[in-house]
Homo-oligomer: A and B are copies of this chain.
Amino acid sequence: MLIEMPRHTEIFGSVKIHELQRVLKLDSGGFENPRAKDISFGEIKAVLEHLAIIIPIKDEKIHLLDGVLRAIPFDCTVIVVSNSERDAHDIYRMEKDVITNIHNLTQQEILSIHQKDPELGFAFYEAGYDCLLDRDGLVRDGKSEGMITGMLLAKSLGKDFIGFADADNYVPGSVREYVIDYAAGFCMSESPYSMVRLHWRYKPKVVEDRLYFKKWGRVSETTNKYLNLLLSTCTGFETGVVITGNAGEHALTTKLADIMSYSTGYSVEPYHFVYLFDEFGLKAEKIAYSDALTAGIEIFQIETLNPHLHEEKGEEHIKNMLLGSLCTVYHSELCNDYVRSKVLEELGDILDAWERPPENIMMPPIGVIDASKFTKLLKSNSETFVMHEQGSIEDEAKEEEYLKGESFQAV
């Protein structure tokens, strides 16, 4: 891959935010280039082998999941965490069938589990991490909760890198690029605590009877504005460096995943920034994460070459997304009165005059959980947990052959 060098890096305490880097070419010839970073396929592959891609899914068209699975590089492990319907239509069963079929064909490592599996709730309970459980002992609905489930599974496989991809993507080749962009980010990182966030080159929308290639989403633009305002008021220097506040497409090192707190709902992605600002910005006395403080935390923002074309989810969630995102800024420890007043102004249409932005539900770092024990519990008890290992079919085939050979000899 050939990727732009970041023109500027904003530093706030231990947090380094690199300016947007564009993907210049999806592969490269290994020539020296003063203007760009050349990352060889070998380097990318070395990261992919230690990368798990988590796909949180909820009642998506099964075609789309199929396409996405066919496009994700073979060297990664895929972890599907489904919160799809299991009643009238057992959509999770269809998902499992697609996964099994892809595994039979490709022999890629793929795991899957259903978010509402009682054994999953129990495993979280056993791990002492019950903050994402509902009163009925099941894992709450929500993408964050699915993401945390996936991260623990990735950890138990010993993965060093964890990335996310949505299953509602119309263009399999785009998803493939996202994963390779993640790997490229980690190739550039100098810290074991790093995060890669993607910015779509275009997000086409149907406007009247043709496609319009939008560059910015409505919510994204506002979220970025307030994250930048928060950062600017802290450092005293105005900046527009944050352009991936709502980046659903992101990846992080397992080391960083272990020390992050996670917000719920639509605020999970912008809260990454707020958490890192709060924890690793001004204050430098955190003892728990002294290693991260010293190494620094790097955030890469990469502009994809491909457009992002996905299922339209309608207008309803826009307000909630904006509210969730700006609440993270409002409740930041670093947020001053000026920023708070600006956020309230922005939310004027959404909140009533007397309302304060609600606090987001927070989930503490997962580093404390014994992921191996967690997964072992699921392996032995869970009915929905499926673990297709890499090349297991071949092994089965070999075994069969071996057995055939035996019986042949026996005959």
Once bound together, how far apart are the Cα atoms of A206 and B170, in whole Å? Answer: 14
Is A28 in contact with B206, judged by CB distance below 8 angstroms? no
Q: Determine the chain B residues whose CB is within 8 A of the CB of A83 once the complex forms.
A: none
Q: Which of A23, A27, A211, A394 has the most CB of B within 10 A?
A: A27
Residues of chain B within 8 A (CB-CB) of A397 are 32
Which of B36, B41, B206 interacts with A211 by CB under 8 Å? Answer: B206
User: At the interface with chain B, which of A182-190, A283-291, A302-310?
Assistant: A302-310
Q: Contact mask A290-318 → B, CB, 8 Å, 1/0? A: 00000000000000011101001000000
* Chain A residues numbered 159-184 whose CB sits less than 8 Å from any CB in chain B: 170-174, 176-177
CA distance A312 to B208 in the complex (A): 14
Interface of A toward B, CB cutoff 8 Å: 2, 23-29, 31-33, 35-36, 41, 67, 70-71, 73-75, 102, 105-108, 170-174, 176-177, 204, 206, 208-211, 213, 305-307, 309, 312, 390-391, 393-394, 397
Contacting residues, chain B, for A391 (C-beta < 8 A): 29, 31
Residue in B28, B32, B71, B105 whose beta carbon sits within 8 Å of that of A33 in the complex:
B105
Which B residues are CB-close (under 8 A) to A28? 74, 106
Contact residues in B for A75 (Cβ distance below 8 Å): 27, 29
In the complex, what residues of B have CB within 8 A of residue A23's CB? 70
Q: Are B204 and A170 in contact (CB under 8 A)?
A: yes
- Distance in angstroms between the alpha carbons of A192 and B346 in the assembled complex: 66
Q: Give which listed residue, B29, B102, B106, B208, contacts A106 with CB less than 8 A.
A: B29
Q: Are A390 and B70 in contact (CB under 8 A)?
A: no
Report the separation of the CA atoms of residues A173 and B393 in the bound assembly, to the nearest whole angstrom: 30
Contacts of A41 in B (CB 8 A): 41
* Minimum-distance CB pairs A-B, first 10: A173-B173, A173-B306, A31-B107, A25-B106, A27-B74, A29-B74, A31-B394, A172-B305, A25-B70, A24-B105
Question: When the two chains form their complex, are residues B105 and A36 in contact, meaning their CB atoms are under 8 A apart?
Answer: yes
Task: Report the separation of the CA atoms of residues A213 and B209 in the bound assembly, to the nearest whole angstrom.
Answer: 15
Once bound together, how far apart are the Cα atoms of A307 and B27, in whole Å? 21
Q: Which of B26, B74, B204 contacts A71 (CB under 8 A)?
A: B26
- Cα distance, A70 to B209, chains bound together (Å): 28
Contact B305 A173 (CB under 8 A): yes
Alpha-carbon distance between A2 and B104 when the two chains are bound, in angstroms = 12
Smallest Cβ distance from A52 to chain B, in angstroms? 16
7 contacts across the A-B interface (CB closer than 8 A): A2-B105, A25-B71, A25-B74, A35-B105, A170-B213, A171-B309, A208-B209
Inter-chain pairs besides A25-B102, A173-B305, A211-B309, 12 sampled, C-beta below 8 Å: A2-B106, A24-B70, A25-B70, A31-B106, A32-B394, A33-B107, A67-B305, A171-B173, A171-B309, A173-B177, A173-B306, A309-B309
